Amino acid sequence: MSPSIHTPSYYDSYPPLLRPNNNPIHDLNQDPNPLPDPNPDPIPVIDFQNIDNDAISEACRNWGVFRLVNHGIPDALLNQLHGRAEEVFSLPFDSKHALKSCTAMAYFWGTPALTPTGETVERGPTPPADMKWFEGFNVLLNQLAQQLQVEDPVLDNFR
């Protein structure tokens, strides 16, 4: 019998609990590998050259985040940053999770505890099939600067 060979898939970057084939709540009648909508909820956009305080207030209150445009950062640099972010977040979950032992950077993932309106998310014994989740990296710049032996007092208070 030949050894099985694992072919990387889109879902390898997901935490094991959230992978369709490993998730006990996965509906077997659904497509086993549906790709999520890349833009299911359009994040509010704020124009830095035409600041609208009401729009900022609403975005912060209802979303907790917004996308800033016309900020002066060159498109080429932003495209490079987005490309690198996509590469990192596409890494297998185990590779990302291994970063939790790094002192200057930590990987985290989870599900939101509140809805956009601030209500507590009700949880049952198993997560819902359409559960939203997030992941991110927290980089402690002051610790990274210490590791790289860079002295800059601005990094001590930067968040």
pLDDT tens readout for residues 95-151: 888 876 666 777 777 776 666 566 666 666 665 666 677 788 877 777 777 777 777
> Would you state the structure tokens that stand for residue 60, as one six-digit string?
């912060």
Confidence of residue 8 (pLDDT cuts 50, 70, 90): low
> How is the chain split into domains, by residue range?
10-24+42-157
Q: Greater confidence, 33 or 13?
A: 13
Q: What is the pLDDT averaged over residues 69-97?
A: 89
Task: Round to whole Å and give the CA distance between 136 and 89.
Answer: 8
> Would you state the structure tokens that stand for residue 7, as one six-digit string?
């072919």
Q: What is the pLDDT averaged over residues 30-35?
A: 51
Mapped onto helix, strand or coil, the DSSP state of residue 71 is coil
pTM above 0.75, yes or no: no
pLDDT of residue 74: 93
Nearest to 32 by CA among 135, 131, 129: 129
